[in-house]
Structure 1
Amino acid sequence: MGLLGTIARHLDALIGPGVMLLYPLYASMRAIESPSTLDDQQWLTYWMLYSFITLFELSCWKVLQWFPLWPYMKLVFCLWLVLPIFNGAAYIYENFVRKYVKIGSYVSPTYTEEQRKVLQMMSLDARKSVEQYIENYGSEAFARVIKAAAKEAKKH
């Protein structure tokens, strides 16, 4: 088979580091610098999934040795996760992680039921700001804000 056979057998070792590490590293640095959070989601999810793949490989390496196609399957999956045409990592986040994993939804039981409902609807960053507001001005001030917002919503 010669040179082409050797290249085909070692394709994962030749392009794998670029696909799985170098390009995602570059794209992650660009995402940090950009004002959009969409690319942050893509690349944070990619690194999370890549970590899971690596942990899986480290845990199951004896079994994976018996599957000669594993490196190629991993390469194709990582290509799907990484390539901007597919944005596979963002797809997995939107369709699986966000639906089934609820992180940051805990709200302290010290708030009233109405306040807890409002706080649970907020993003984690907004909730932190509101909790700081409550700490500074008291929960009564937050209750007044909720009532004023409810009145305003009824008008429209």
Structure 2
Amino acid sequence: MNAVLSKLDPLITKFGLDNTDQIEILKGPCSKIGVRPAYVVFVFGSVALFSILFGIAARFLSTFISILYPAYRSIQAIETTGESDDKQWLTYWILFSIITLTDATIGFALEFIPFYHILKLALFVALFHPQVKGAEKLYDKFVHPLYLQYHEKIDKGFQKVQDKVKQQVNDRFQN
């Protein structure tokens, strides 16, 4: 079996999955069956991709993939010293939130686009892939300029809401 799976090594390297051999939760079970964790990730990823292509649980799988790997990498970023990976994952989650909010708002219309979930998954992979660093690029190009333009107004708006809530709570508990 390893002889067959070892033919996947060039693909695993090409797709940047070599580091998945370090995923602790996979090491134990994979050592028991005698395969690299990267093989398991590649096979499950391939099955998920084909399921998405054929429309089998496409929404669930694209959402699952766009959350699972980034969440794990975010935990790793928190647990390491240095801040370069922190920026990557914080910017990913900012863009994930924006895309998810947009999808929740107008996703019903977007679902009519052929292969919508594949395109959405490809976007998320481009955002989180360590070699592409799409999250940082999109953040720098779009989010950061908008933030600079509007953050003072947004901060004032949040402050007004916070002051109103405090006043309401104080009024409620003082009577």
TM-score normalized by the length of structure 1: 0.54
Contact 1:82 1:88 in 2 (8 A): yes
Please give the alpha-carbon distance, in whole angstroms, between the structure 2 residues aligned to 1:89 and 1:38: 13
The structure with the greater share of residues assigned to helix is 2
Tell me, yes or no, if the aligned pair for 2:62 and 2:118 is still in contact at 8 Å. Answer: no
1:86 matched residue in structure 2: 132
What do residues 15-59 of structure 1 show as CA deviations (whole Å, max 9, x unaligned)?
524530111001100111122222111111111111111111111
Residue from 95, 119, 122 that aligns with 1:76: 122
How far is the alpha carbon of 1:13 from its aligned partner?
A: 5.2
Structure 1 segments (4+ residues) deviating >2 Å:
10-19, 93-100
Structure 1 counterpart of 2:90: 44
**Residues 91 and 136 of structure 2 are in contact (CA less than 8 Å); yes or no, is this contact kept in structure 1?**
yes
Work out the CA distance in 2 between the residues paired with 1:14 and 1:101: 31
Q: Which amino acid aligns with 1:9?
A: F
Within a 5 Å distance, the mapping from 1:1-156 to structure 2 comes to 7=51, 8-10=53-55, 12=58, 16-102=62-148
Residues 95 and 139 in structure 2, CA contact (< 8 A), matched pair in contact too: no
SS at match of 1:102: helix
Structure of greater Rg = 1
Which letter maps to 2:55?
H
Structure 2: stretches of 5+ with no match in the other structure: 1-49, 153-175
RMSD of aligned C-alpha atoms?
Answer: 2.9
Inter-partner Cα distance in structure 2 for 1:17 and 1:58 = 12
Structure 1 gaps, min length 5: 1-5, 107-156
**CA deviations over 1:98-123 (Å, ceiling 9, x no partner):** 344228x86xxxxxxxxxxxxxxxxx
| Residue identity matched to 1:10 | G
Corresponding residue number in structure 2 for 1:120:
none
Which is worse superposed, 11-20 or 82-91?
11-20
Q: Within 1, Cα distance between the matches of 2:108 and 2:139?
A: 30
